[in-house]
């Protein structure tokens, strides 16, 4: 059974923000915990200095590589924790999320932070995937 997105009647509807309040997975064959991904290419080069869209695309590319290495796809991602340096980039994030997840609605926490691991980083995303 694939991940099931649940919208409890007594919680506000989060669907316009492209995430689920609750995600249910029955009988997973594996849980995958993906460390916070940033806009670093495989060779360690920072992609998109000062460019939130370029950084978001690289972060999602890194997430895809990570989950595929464990035997899944982005459709297996049940939860995201998103750290943005500037909450004004939320709309940019939603745009890239809609492209990358194509209808999937993982549970999500999004927070603004004052710093990330490198001064040029604008976003970091951690994920949990459920393999079925």
Q: What is the pLDDT of residues 72-88, one digit of tens each?
A: 999 999 999 999 999 99
Does the pLDDT value for residue 114 go beyond 90? yes
Per cent of the chain over pLDDT 90 is 69
Q: What's the mean pLDDT when you consider all of the chain? A: 91
Q: Quick one: three-class SS letters along the chain?
A: CCCEEECCCCCCCCHHHCCECEEECCCCCEEEEEEEECCECCCCCECCCCCHHHHHHHHHHHHHHHHHHCCCCHHHEEEEEEEECCHHHHHHHHHHHHHHHCCCCCEEEEEECCCCCCCCCCEEEEEEEEEC
- Higher pLDDT, residue 5 or 114: 114
Q: Of 89-98, 100-109, 122-131, where does mean pLDDT reach its minimum?
A: 100-109
Does the pLDDT value for residue 58 go beyond 80? yes
14-52 tens-digit pLDDT = 888 888 888 888 777 888 989 999 999 999 999 999 999
pLDDT of residue 89: 98
pLDDT of residue 1: 54
Specify the pTM: 0.87
Residue 4 — pLDDT band, cuts 50, 70, 90? confident
């Amino acid at each position: 059974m694939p991940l099931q997105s649940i919208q409890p009647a007594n919680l506000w509807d989060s669907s316009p923000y492209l995430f689920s309040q609750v995600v249910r997975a029955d009988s997973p064959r594996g849980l995958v915990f993906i460390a916070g991904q940033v806009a670093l290419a495989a060779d360690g080069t920072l992609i998109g200095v000062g460019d939130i869209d370029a950084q978001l695309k690289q972060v999602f590319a890194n997430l895809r590589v990570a989950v595929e290495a464990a035997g899944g796809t982005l459709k297996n991602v049940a939860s995201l924790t998103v750290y943005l340096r500037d909450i004004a980039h939320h709309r940019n994030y939603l745009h890239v999320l809609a492209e990358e997840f194509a209808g999937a609605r993982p549970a999500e926490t999004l927070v603004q932070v004052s710093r990330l691991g490198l001064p040029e980083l604008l976003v970091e995303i951690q994920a949990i995937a459920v393999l079925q």
